[in-house]
Amino acid sequence: MLLGLSLDGGREEEGRRVEVEEEEAPQNEPRRLGIVWEGERESSLPTHTSTINNAEIAHFSKLSSQWWDEQGEFSFLHKMNPVRVQFIREKLLQAAYEDGVIPEDTPSTHNPLRRLDVLDVGCGGGLLSESLARLGAHTLGIDASLSNIRIAQMHASADPKLRSTLTYFHTPAETLLTADPKRYDVVCSMEVLEHVDNPATFLTTCAQLVKPGGHLFLSTISRTPLAYLLTIVMAEQVLRKVSPNTHTYSKFIKPSELIDFFKAYRSPIDENSEALSRPWINPNLEYPTRVEAEVRGLIYNPLQARWVLAPRDAFGATECNYLFWVRKPNNP
């Protein structure tokens, strides 16, 4: 699969989101989202549809009430979530060492997420968003499904401690990019890439939401016979752990395709010029350096009913589920 490149821009707007309202749209027109800002009212913004698959949104909207049922439809994600957080913490801690932000003898228990600005794209019911907010990150979770956002907001409202660190916003990433100038230290999009249309456009949008020197974390499924067997045949058709038609094999993306994408991708340096940064991953090297990008396999152990983060370069570990991290160049 070849992922084409496209660039998108942004504009500046000041303010803090305090409420989200949905407005009715005429039939056959995109639904518009009204955004209420503290101190002023922002005009309605069209919901961009360049990467949104309406069938996928409808599918997950129907399942939204099950997000926080640890034995239900999303039980695998509940078990996976601690491993995702572990990987994010490890990479941020490693980057902090490399940057000299913290001394090398800092204990591994150090929390590198505290006070960082984090964006969770396709947050669903908020499994990852809540975890990152509890670690002190100023977290914004966004999703194209209003049902998902409502469930996420309702669950988070039960914990007053989250009020100062967690916000949810019903919008696709493309709209956020053009509506809000804010960029993030960390952008996450977990188990989303295999459900969007135009993955290259989606990746470009996520990349543009990252601050220079910031981090992009992805979790998705590789397009291999093993992945088809485990995620579609076994999980959907045989064990019925996941609803049928949740996954589409042709949408799965191999780790090598993500690496190739970021070997070619260059960030806009300034929205007022056409200058571009260097590629996020050095295209002259066969494999990314450890300070540029990393791929780690996620392996499910059915005997222990838990996910395991595979060791680096473990043979065959990325043939199904995997995590991907890449860092935006700090200097052009």
Please return the burial class of 154, using the count of CB atoms within 10 Å of its CB with bins 0-12, 13-18 and 19+.
middle
Rounded CA-CA distance 324/318 in Å is: 10
Is 159 assigned to a binding site? Answer: no
Is 163 assigned to a binding site? Answer: no
Rounded CA-CA distance 248/284 in Å is: 33
Is 29 assigned to a binding site? Answer: no
Rounded CA-CA distance 255/261 in Å is: 10
Distance of CA 86 to the CA centre of its chain: 15
Rounded CA-CA distance 189/207 in Å is: 11
Rounded CA-CA distance 212/328 in Å is: 6
Please return the burial class of 188, using the count of CB atoms within 10 Å of its CB with bins 0-12, 13-18 and 19+.
buried
Is 195 assigned to a binding site? Answer: yes
Is 122 assigned to a binding site? Answer: yes
Q: Which two tokens stand for residue 152?
A: 């996420």
Place of tokens 């019903």: 170
Whether 176 and 189 have beta carbons less than 8 Å apart is answered as no
Is 191 assigned to a binding site? Answer: yes
- Identity at 179, one-letter amino acid code: A
In the chain, which residue ranges form alpha helices assigned H by DSSP? 54-62, 75-98, 127-134, 146-156, 173-179, 199-208, 225-227, 255-264
The SS3 of residue 231 is helix
The pair phi, psi for residue 132, each rounded to 5°, is -70, -40
List binding-site positions for Mg(2+): 191, 194-195
List binding-site positions: 84, 122, 143, 190-191, 194-195
List binding-site positions for S-adenosyl-L-methionine: 84, 122, 143, 190
